[in-house]
């Protein structure tokens, strides 16, 4: 059954820079009507413009509410075998990383990704009738190159491949089995430390790359019919923190920062072109191949994935043009139609193979224990025979 991309908009509070510039607030958030109104900046000729979305969050929204309205139902679906994607989009410095990551060690301020870890493990631990295998990968797209943030050489370039079974995938990406919140947190922390960041005039900790933390969740459901194989579902959850769109006149980027900004803006432009092509429906050709980002998000935009977009905006008149652009972008995205479906008994499921490997290791261990016991028994028997001979001689 077709469903549209769900679009949420979150407006952050004024930051120190905007307060210092005496910026005026031009955003009105109506959480009852799920609408955002952008008022014309002082001296502007444009009137107020109102946009409606699936959900909106005001400047005083808290992380828990954002998670429950966005990711919570999606995680439940992924456990059932659906593919899911959450991606944060917006101008640099508007709070994308705050929504996606937040402060992972703070129960109040942690974002969508660490809350997903807790939610997922709680589901696994309470499911007595199902067995799970969870793996994770973490990559970044930096200057149109894909880097594996969990590999020993995290700056090595990885290749994109495509197959009828897997669709678009990253060749040789590191996948780690995770069994606890602590293990997920560990890989998230390692990858984040390896991610490319840099200071600009707009954001001292600006993400200079797009990042994708992906969870692969396989679930084995025991068959109630004797002699029938157990069924396996395989869900995948992409948690995407996009780098922010930038204007050089505001970020004052030069050198490497300017080169990074150019690549970021090109890939975001390619994403916009894909969204426009899907919504307009005037052409059968969708330009997914124009960037690494759009290729990796191919299933999320017009494919078989349940997708949520979180658009992050500033309330300040100083950012009027960028905010209006983001609101229009988000408004187009909510018209994209996907065809999500459960991934039932996929050919590349690893759960049975993983369980068989564990079984073999246990058998080897049991075999070695038996072998050791047999050796000890023989040694005791030899020792006893030796003792009896010694007694007879005496």
224 and 368 co-located in one domain: no
Domain span including residue 357: 350-394
Please write the tens of the pLDDT for every residue from 70-80.
999 999 999 99
- Confirm whether residue 93 is marked as ligand binding: yes
- Confirm whether residue 96 is marked as ligand binding: yes
Mean pLDDT, rounded, for 351-368: 68
- Residue whose token pair is 């197959």: 163
Residue 244 has pLDDT above 90, yes or no: no
Residue 8 has pLDDT above 90, yes or no: yes
275 and 376 co-located in one domain: no
pLDDT at 251: 54
pLDDT at 375: 63
- Confirm whether residue 90 is marked as ligand binding: yes
Report the 10 Å Cβ neighbour count for 229: 10
282 and 373 co-located in one domain: no
Residue 394 has pLDDT above 80, yes or no: no
Residue 255 has pLDDT above 90, yes or no: no
pLDDT at 58: 97
276 and 374 co-located in one domain: no
- Confirm whether residue 219 is marked as ligand binding: no
- Confirm whether residue 373 is marked as ligand binding: no
Tell me how far CA of residue 120 lies from CA of 127, 137, 173, 279, in angstroms: 11, 16, 22, 33
340 and 354 co-located in one domain: no
- Confirm whether residue 52 is marked as ligand binding: no
pLDDT at 282: 79
- Confirm whether residue 91 is marked as ligand binding: yes
Of 112-126, 322-336, 362-376, give the lowest mean pLDDT range: 362-376
Residue 57: closest CA among 10, 99, 17, 21: 10
The beta strand positions in the chain, using DSSP E, are: 3-4, 6-11, 27-30, 35-38, 49-52, 55-57, 83-90, 130-142, 145-148, 157-158, 160-163, 167-170, 176-177, 197-198, 206-207, 210-221, 231-241, 305-313, 337-338
Please write the tens of the pLDDT for every residue from 151-186.
999 999 999 999 888 889 999 999 999 999 999 999
Mean pLDDT, rounded, for 96-119: 95
CA atoms within 13 A on the CB side of 88: 35
Instruction: Measure the CA–CA gap between 280 and 274, rounded to whole angstroms.
Output: 10
More confident residue, 23 or 245: 23
Q: Which of 314, 329, 348 delimits the end of a domain? A: 348
334 and 381 co-located in one domain: no
> pLDDT-based confidence at 354, cuts 50/70/90?
low
Mean model confidence pLDDT for the chain? 87
**Angle made by CA atoms 149, 184, 267, in degrees to the nearest 5:** 40
312 and 301 co-located in one domain: yes
297 and 385 co-located in one domain: no
> pLDDT-based confidence at 137, cuts 50/70/90?
very high
287 and 264 co-located in one domain: yes
* H or E element in which residue 63 lies: helix 63-79
155 and 54 co-located in one domain: yes
Residue 138 has pLDDT above 90, yes or no: yes
- Confirm whether residue 81 is marked as ligand binding: no
The single-letter DSSP state of residue 318 is G
pLDDT at 389: 45
76 and 208 co-located in one domain: yes
382 and 308 co-located in one domain: no
**Counted domains in the chain:** 2
């Amino acid at each position: 059954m077709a469903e549209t991309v769900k679009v949420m908009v979150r407006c952050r509070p004024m930051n120190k820079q905007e307060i210092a510039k005496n910026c005026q607030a031009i955003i009105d958030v109506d959480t009852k009507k799920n609408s955002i109104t952008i008022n014309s900046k002082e001296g502007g000729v444009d009137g107020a413009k109102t946009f409606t979305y699936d959900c909106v969050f005001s400047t005083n929204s808290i992380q828990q509410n954002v998670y429950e309205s966005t990711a919570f139902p999606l995680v439940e679906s992924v456990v059932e075998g659906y593919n899911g994607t959450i991606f944060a989009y917006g101008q640099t410095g508007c709070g994308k990383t705050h929504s996606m990551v937040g402060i992972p060690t703070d129960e109040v301020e942690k974002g969508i990704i660490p809350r997903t870890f807790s939610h997922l493990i709680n589901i696994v631990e309470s499911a007595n009738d199902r067995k799970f295998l969870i793996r994770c990968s973490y990559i970044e797209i930096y200057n149109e190159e894909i880097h594996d943030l969990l590999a020993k050489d995290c700056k090595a370039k990885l290749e994109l491949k495509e197959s009828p079974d897997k669709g678009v995938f990253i060749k040789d990406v590191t996948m780690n089995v995770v069994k606890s919140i602590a293990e997920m947190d560990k890989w998230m922390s390692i990858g984040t430390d390896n991610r490319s960041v840099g200071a600009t005039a707009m954001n001292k900790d600006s993400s200079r790359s797009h990042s994708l933390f992906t969870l692969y969740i396989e679930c084995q459901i025991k068959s109630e019919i004797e002699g029938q194989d157990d069924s396996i579902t395989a869900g995948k959850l992409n948690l995407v923190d996009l780098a922010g769109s930038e204007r050089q006149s505001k970020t004052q980027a030069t050198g490497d920062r300017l080169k990074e900004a150019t690549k970021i803006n090109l890939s975001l432009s390619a994403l916009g072109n894909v969204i426009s092509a899907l919504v307009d429906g005037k052409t059968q050709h969708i330009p997914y191949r124009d960037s690494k980002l759009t290729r990796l998000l191919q299933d999320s935009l017009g494919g078989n994935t349940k997708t949520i977009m979180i658009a992050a905006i500033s309330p300040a008149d100083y950012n009027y043009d960028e905010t209006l652009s983001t609101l229009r972008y988000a408004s187009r995205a909510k018209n994209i139609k996907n065809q999500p479906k459960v991934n039932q008994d996929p050919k590349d499921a690893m759960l049975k193979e993983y369980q068989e490997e564990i079984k073999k290791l246990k058998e080897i261990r049991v075999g070695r224990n038996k072998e050791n016991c047999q050796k000890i028994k023989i040694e005791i028997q030899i020792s006893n025979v030796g003792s009896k001979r010694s007694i007879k001689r005496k």
